[in-house]
Amino acid sequence: TPVPAFDLVIFGAGGDLALRKLFPALAQRSREGVLPDESRILCIVRKQEDVDGLPKQIAKRLKEEGLSPDHIHAFQQRLTIVLLDAVKPETYKALKKALGDDGRVRSFYLSTPPDLFIPICENLAAADILTPTSRVILEKPLGRDLASAREINDAVARILPEDRTYRIDHYLGKETVQNLLVLRFANTLFERSWTGRDIDHVQITVAETVGLESRAGYYDKAGQMRDMVQNHLMQLLTLFAIEPPNLLEAGAVRDEKIKVLKALRPIVGPDVERYTVRGQYGTGQIDGQRVRGYADELGHLSNTETFVALRCELDNWRWAGVPIYLRTGKRMAQRYSEIVVTFKPVPHSIFGGGSCDKLYANRLLIRLQPNDGVQLQLMMKVPGSGRLKIVPRQLDLRYSTAFDERTPDAYERLLTDVIRGDQTLFMHRDEVEQAWRWVDPIIAGWQDYSPHPHRYAAGSWGPSQAIGLIEREGRSWADPD
């Protein structure tokens, strides 16, 4: 269904995120006829050379994505390049002029470091560019701790109301993440046993093979906790654990998510050392290639973590006593993200000794990427008329074979949701602040109890301490085959 005609202004249009994700997502939607012809994309650039350079870079990027020359040309017709310095109020005149007075809904995507969010919003307001329907989209990470997130939220709230502020976490736009809600709330089978009565523990892993890339300036100040845990992993955890909202609608879903975040038991003081592990990759091998260690890539020593594993618990009725293990890292052995739910074993085995080594507990594996899909591990009888033999086997549902439809990129969904005015897959300020409230004491605790991250070899599954974190409780990480 086409969205209403719009003007989308992208700050940071020449940046990595815009080129890698935003333009390809918009171009796909444009190709599919979802964006009305008169809709415009205004790209904010700071340097004169980008005025000509950016359209060429965008065309190159879209070609890499496999778009045809006709589609690239059609997409370029939507682009207007605007030269502006985000912190210089006098330069906003150019944007005001470019926008004109077409009466369309204006959305401003701030694909910039968070310290520019306040000046940009203030300058847009001062230049009288915001209309009563304008929306602002804020990229993560929103601030670097609770205090800075609050400061941003308060400043933005003085200019735009909450229902026109879209805080993006692209994990919420991933098909498999949305499917988590469908899996839980459209299938009697799972929701009935989605509690601590039937579930032994949960693991959430987001492993990446990429390293620092060209983001040293940002990443070394942020680290994996701020870059991935505070947002993506906590959002996955929240959607996994929420109570059923009465309707799939922004207010209801976000209310339930906030309750989960508030139920997270704080990890403070010496518990930080007990329940969390942070690591930094050294040299190693990925896909047969030798790669450098973090400090080497960075050019100097650093205590920034590139890996985090932690064990947490939710203090509420449904989840009391169920350990939830989170793990994420750069330069790990394989790129994959998944949620693994391990159910409790059957209370008694009726199968005498000798039929199997052990009755493995059922495991539900929700694979977010790659090979998105759902697997359920069941115990099965091996065919044959001899002695009874029982083994674990998988029910395996892959998106690629179950559906003919193309799986859209997360940003395709999220950008059109902004234009449609649907906030269900965006974070309320309370969610972001609550997540920082939980994360801040862990980061502070590292300074006191674990100032140096543990070393792990690039291409491994992280430091041995992360394995110890789960193994000391008689469990193990479910690594992919």
232 has catalytic annotation: yes
Q: How far is the CB of 187 from ligand BG6 (least distance, A)?
A: 26
Residues 6+ apart with CB under 8 A from 481: none
Q: x/- binding map, residues 98-117, to ligand BG6, per CB under 6 A?
A: --------------------
Q: How far is the CB of 209 from ligand BG6 (least distance, A)?
A: 10
Q: How far is the CB of 174 from ligand BG6 (least distance, A)?
A: 7
Burial class (CB in 10 A: 0-12, 13-18, 19+), 214: exposed
The smaller minimum CB distance to ligand BG6, of residues 208 and 273, is found at 208
DSSP 8-state code for residue 231: I
433 binds ligand BG6 (CB under 6 A): no
For the record, the structure tokens of 281 come out as 């990759």
The smaller minimum CB distance to ligand BG6, of residues 224 and 377, is found at 224
The smaller minimum CB distance to ligand BG6, of residues 323 and 408, is found at 408
Q: Which of 178, 307, 193 is nearest to 253 (CA)?
A: 178
Burial class (CB in 10 A: 0-12, 13-18, 19+), 200: middle
Angle between the N-to-C axes of helices 146-157 and 429-449, in degrees from 0 to 180, rounded to the nearest 10: 160
For the record, the structure tokens of 11 come out as 């700050």
The smaller minimum CB distance to ligand BG6, of residues 98 and 222, is found at 222
57-65, Cβ contacts within 8 angstroms, sequence gap of 24 or more: 57/14, 57/19, 58/19, 58/23, 61/19, 61/20, 61/23, 61/24, 62/23, 62/24, 62/27, 65/24, 65/27, 65/28
Q: How far is the CB of 70 from ligand BG6 (least distance, A)?
A: 29
Q: How far is the CB of 437 from ligand BG6 (least distance, A)?
A: 21
The smaller minimum CB distance to ligand BG6, of residues 194 and 436, is found at 436
Residues 233-252 touching ligand BG6, rule: CB under 6 A, are: none
Binding residue per annotation — 46? yes
Q: x/- binding map, residues 261-280, to ligand BG6, per CB under 6 A?
A: --------------------
Query: One of 232, 300, 428, 452 is an active-site residue; which one?
Result: 232
Binding residue per annotation — 227? yes
372 binds ligand BG6 (CB under 6 A): no
Binding residue per annotation — 433? no
Q: Which of 300, 281, 282, 294 is nearest to 213 (CA)?
A: 294
The smaller minimum CB distance to ligand BG6, of residues 19 and 95, is found at 19
CB atoms within 10 A of CB 347: 5
In the chain, the N- to C-terminal Cα span, in Å, equals 40
For the record, the structure tokens of 476 come out as 């193990």
Size of the site for ligand BG6 (CB under 6 A): 3
Binding residue per annotation — 170? yes
Nearest residue to ligand BG6, scored by beta-carbon proximity? 227
Give the integer Cα–Cα distance in Å for 162 and 138. Answer: 12
Binding residue per annotation — 208? yes
Q: How far is the CB of 141 from ligand BG6 (least distance, A)?
A: 8
Give the integer Cα–Cα distance in Å for 272 and 195. Answer: 26
Q: x/- binding map, residues 173-212, to ligand BG6, per CB under 6 A?
A: -----------------------------------x-x--
Q: How far is the CB of 204 from ligand BG6 (least distance, A)?
A: 13
The single residue among 227, 338, 412, 433 that binds ligand BG6, judged by CB under 6 A, is: 227
Q: How far is CA 377 from CA 74, 367, 380, 395, 401, in A?
A: 48, 13, 9, 6, 19
Binding residue per annotation — 174? yes
Q: What is the SS3 assignment for 24?
A: helix
The smaller minimum CB distance to ligand BG6, of residues 227 and 433, is found at 227
Q: How far is CA 469 from CA 21, 171, 334, 464, in A?
A: 35, 26, 20, 9
Q: What is the SS3 assignment for 289?
A: strand
The smaller minimum CB distance to ligand BG6, of residues 25 and 105, is found at 25
Q: How far is CA 249 from CA 242, 252, 390, 426, in A?
A: 14, 6, 44, 11
Residues 6+ apart with CB under 8 A from 238: 257, 260, 261, 431
Q: How far is the CB of 360 from ligand BG6 (least distance, A)?
A: 29
Task: Please enumerate, by residue number, every residue annotated as part of a binding site for NADP(+).
Answer: 46, 140
The footprint of ligand BG6 (CB under 6 A) covers: 208, 210, 227
Task: Please enumerate, by residue number, every residue annotated as part of a binding site.
Answer: 46, 140, 170, 174, 208, 227, 330
Task: Please enumerate, by residue number, every residue annotated as part of a binding site for substrate.
Answer: 170, 174, 208, 227, 330
Hey, which residues are catalytic here?
232
